[in-house]
Structure 1
Amino acid sequence: MSFQSILGNFALILFVLTIGTGIVWFLDMFVLSKQRRAAADKALAELDARQARLASDGIKIDEVDRAELEAKILRQPVWVEYSGSFFPVIALVFFLRSFLYEPFKIPSSSMLPTLYVGDLILVNKFEYGIRLPVINKKVIELNNPKRGDVMVFKYPVDPTVDYIKRVVGVPGDKVVYHNKRLLINGQPLSYQTMPDFLDEEHLNYSRQLTENLNGVSHRILNDDRAPAFVNDPFNFPKRENCSYDNEGFSCVVPEGHYFMMGDNRDNSLDSRYWGFVPDQNIVGKAFFIWMNLGNIKRIGSFH
C-alpha cells in the first residue's frame, strides 16, 4: 500500500489513532498513574518527616502547600493528557463509522436526480452484514443488497476510492440495457415520462423518467444526445459474462457480485464500463441526506 493511499484511507488512519491513544490511555490508567501516586506518597512522607524534625528541633517550619505539591506530582505529562482526552472520542467515532453509520459527500452528478453534488449522506454499515473495519471482511451475515438499493462500495479498479451507484443486478441476474431501457431476467422495467430535468450546475435539460426497479420507484435521466452503446468498456474480471452491441449490452451477474448503474444514465461511469462489484467491496446502504450546505431543503431520506 502506497503512502498516498494510506493518507486517503481515513478508516485506517482512525484505526491507528484509536490503537495509539488507547495504548497510552491504558498505560496511564494501569501503570503511569500508579507510579505518579507512589512518587507523590513518597514525597509527602518525606515532607512530613522533614517538618517533624524541624518542629522537634525548634526550627521554624517551612510553609509548603501539601495539596499543591501532590497535584504537581500527580499531574499527567502533556502527551499523556492529550492522548487520554482524545481516546474516548476517537474510539467512539471509530466504532460508529465502522459498524453503524458513516458519512459521505456526493462528489459528482452521476446519481442525479436522486443525489446532488454536495449532498452529505449517511450510509448504513450493518444493513449488508457486520464487517471488520479497515480490511472490510464480513464476519456476520445479515441482508444482501437488493435491486433498487443505493449502495456505496469500493471502486473495483481502485479500492481506495468509494463509489455510489444503484444496484441493478444481483447474483444470477441477466441484465440487458437496450436502447436505454433495462430488462432484468427478460422482464422489461416500467417507465413513466416526467417533465425534463434542469441540471443547474451545467445549465442543461435532460429527459427525466420514473423507473420501477424491483418495486423501487425512482427517477432517472437520459441525454438524447448520447448514444445507447457503451464506448470502450474496460477489460474487467468476468468480462466474458457480457456482450456489447450498438444498442446497449447484456450481462449475466456472477455469484458474489453486483451490477451497478448511476441514475444519470448517460453521465455515469459504472458497471457498464468497469464491470461487477464483488461482495467484499461493499461499504453499505445509502439512505439519508443529512445536509447540503447549498440547499437545506435536500435534507431527508431518499430511494
Structure 2
Amino acid sequence: MNTKIPKKKSAKPLLDSKRKRTKKVGKKRKKNQIIAKNQNSSLHKKKKQRRKKKATFVKMLRTTLLQLIIAIIIVGLIVYALSFFLFSVPKVSGYAMMPELANGDRLFVNKLETIKRFDLVVLKANKQRDLSVRRVIGMPDEDIYYKNDQLYIDDTFQVERYLEKPLKDAHQDSMLLTGDFTLNQISGAKKIPEKKYLVLGDNRRYSTDSRNYGLVEDTDIIGVVRMRWLPLQSMKSF
C-alpha cells in the first residue's frame, strides 16, 4: 500500500505577507510622524503669532500710557502756569464769611476780573499776609459809614441783601450786626483813596477786616470769587 507524504507549505508567502504588514505599518507610522510634525509646526506658528500679538499690544499699551502721562504733565504745567495769571482755586480758612462761605470751601477765583461793589475777593491781609476772603463794601473815591446796621455810601443808604438773615437774627436778639463806624475812624481819610478798597466779612461780629487792618491795596487783592465748587452739594456761582 502506497502512502502519500504531504508536502510542506512554502514559508515564502508568509514572509511576503509579514513584509507587507511591516511596510504598511512603517508607512502609517511615517505618515503619523509627518502629521504630528505638521501639527507641531502649526502649533508653534500659532504660539509665535500669539506672542507677537501680545508683544505688539504691550508695546502699544506702553506707548499710549507714556503719551497719556506726558499729556497730563503738559496740561498740569499749563494749568499751573495759567494759575499765576488767570485764576486760582484757594480754600476758605475760618468763619469770617459765614453764612455765605464755610471753613474748607473750595473757590474758583478770576484774577483778571474788574472789582465791583459787594464782590467777594481773595486778598492778602494783615502782617502775616494770610489769604482770606472778604466782601468789597467801599470803592475808591467814596465815603463810607455804618449807622444802626445800615450802610451809607456818600450819604446814600445801600441795601445789603446778602445780610438779610443775619440781620434778622441779630435784631431778634436786640443786637447790632455791624457796629457803627465811619471811614475817618478806621483810615483817617474822608474818601477812600485811589486803588484802595474797604472790605468786611459777612460774619460781622467775629470778622477781622478793614475795621481792624484798614483799607486794602488793589495789589493785595488776588482776584474775584466766581464760584464755590467744593463741596459739590453746595456748588454755587457768585
Which bin holds the TM-score, normalised by the shorter protein?
0.5 to 0.7
Write the mapping of 1:126-205 to structure 2, written as runs, cut at 5 A.
126-127=112-113, 143=114, 145-159=115-129, 161-190=130-159, 196=165
Matched, 1:102 2:91: no
Deviations 1:197-250 (A, max 9, x none): xxxxxxxxx5448xxxxxxxxxx999754685479xxxx9x8322xxxxxxxxx
Q: Give the count of matched residue pairs.
A: 166
Higher helix share: 2
8 Å contact from structure 1 (residues 230, 273) kept in 2: no
Question: CA distance change for structure 1 residues 120 and 193 in 2, over 3 Å: closer, same or farther?
Answer: closer
- Letter aligned with residue 239 of structure 1: S
The Cα shift of 1:176 comes to 0.4
8 Å contact from structure 2 (residues 120, 134) kept in 1: yes
SS in structure 2 at match of 1:287: strand
8 Å contact from structure 2 (residues 92, 132) kept in 1: no
TM-score, normalised relative to structure 2: 0.59
TM-score, normalised relative to structure 1: 0.47
Of the three residues 228, 231, 234, the one matched with 1:289 is 228
The Cα shift of 1:104 comes to 1.1
- Letter aligned with residue 162 of structure 1: L
Matched, 1:240 2:188: yes
Question: CA distance change for structure 1 residues 119 and 228 in 2, over 3 Å: closer, same or farther?
Answer: closer
SS in structure 2 at match of 1:252: coil
Write the mapping of 1:48-59 to structure 2, written as runs, cut at 5 A.
none
Question: CA distance change for structure 1 residues 119 and 222 in 2, over 3 Å: closer, same or farther?
Answer: farther
8 Å contact from structure 2 (residues 145, 152) kept in 1: yes
Whole-Å separation in 2 of the counterparts to 1:258 and 1:103: 22
Whole-Å separation in 1 of the counterparts to 2:101 and 2:112: 22
SS in structure 2 at match of 1:147: coil
Matched, 1:276 2:224: no
Question: CA distance change for structure 1 residues 124 and 222 in 2, over 3 Å: closer, same or farther?
Answer: farther
Percent identity among equivalent residues? 29
SS in structure 2 at match of 1:111: coil
After superposing on structure 2, the runs of 4+ consecutive aligned residues of structure 1 that deviate more than 6 Å are 84-87, 192-195, 220-223
8 Å contact from structure 1 (residues 193, 208) kept in 2: no
SS in structure 2 at match of 1:158: coil
SS in structure 2 at match of 1:88: helix
Matched, 1:262 2:198: no
SS in structure 2 at match of 1:109: coil
8 Å contact from structure 1 (residues 106, 119) kept in 2: yes
8 Å contact from structure 1 (residues 221, 266) kept in 2: no
Higher Cα radius of gyration: 2
Aligned to 2:235: 299
Q: What value does the CA root-mean-square deviation take over the aligned residues?
A: 3.5
Q: Structure 2 regions of 5+ residues with no counterpart? A: 1-69
SS in structure 2 at match of 1:297: helix
The Cα shift of 1:154 comes to 1.1
8 Å contact from structure 1 (residues 109, 116) kept in 2: yes
